[in-house]
Amino acid sequence: MDEATIRRLNQINRDFYRITAEDFDQTRGTPWPGWERLLPHLKTPLSALDVGCGNGRFGLFLYERLVAPTSLSTPPSALLYHGLDSSPALLERARAALANRPGLTIRLETRDILENPPDAGEYDLVVLFGVLHHVPGRQTRLELVRRLAERVRPGGQMVFACWRFYEYERFRARFAPWPEGLAVETHDYLLDWRRGQPALRYCHYVDDTEHAALVAASNLRQILTYRADGEDGAANCYSLLQK
């Protein structure tokens, strides 16, 4: 995929989150069930980089499951949470949700990870949830995973999840026609949004073959790969990797 197409698809999604931030936030208030399977592999103190953090609900999940139960003995920085997102509106919601929590240190940063991927720092945990289906271009996705794996400290972990929307008729019914002049790749789609103000988002369907390629691109050791979430418990495909 050429750079001009990548930029255009990325802008479609930036516009989508600008238009839908309030409604999107209201539909994204609970933890993903699949996160529960990660808990046996996590412990505090923990430094976490949440790429595409949105309203910060994964940070809140980590806090409530790992830090809050031990609040009487919580060290000052039991959880260091660094969230990145290109939506200032969603980051403001994250800031409000995570404020004034003992044992939690937060850093929230407005950053477009395609234009400016993280290139410094090491973390115990790096996660990408609800992100890779918005990254245009197979090579772009592989390179992003490779670069983020470099942010994992030795012994640390990386988790990514790929949304398997194409496998559900209710999402295929939302496909919209492409505008002229976009040289998209196989399994690239435009989905409409049916809550509040109309908007379109670019989404890529990562199948089993590409998922395995993303795992390989990380150069990390695979600990778990599993399906979870959604009404049937299989809407996302997760991989937990370790350096």
Q: What CATH number is associated with residue 20? A: 3.40.50.150
Domain ranges, residue 218: 3-242
In this predicted model, what pLDDT tens digit does every residue of 142-163 receive, in sequence order?
Answer: 999 999 999 999 999 999 999 9
Q: How many domains does the chain have?
A: 1
Mean pLDDT of the chain: 92
Confidence band of 58 (pLDDT split at 50, 70, 90): very high
Each residue's pLDDT tens digit, 19-57? 886 766 566 668 999 999 999 999 999 999 999 999 999
Indicate whether 69 pLDDT > 90: no
- CA neighbor of 46 nearest in space, from 61, 69, 27, 62: 62
Compute the distance between CA of residue 71 and CA of residue 108 in angstroms, rounded to an integer. 23
What pTM value is reported for the model?
0.93
pLDDT at 197: 82
CA distance 239 to 218: 11
Confidence band of 77 (pLDDT split at 50, 70, 90): confident
Window from 25-39, 86-100, 170-184 with minimum mean pLDDT: 25-39
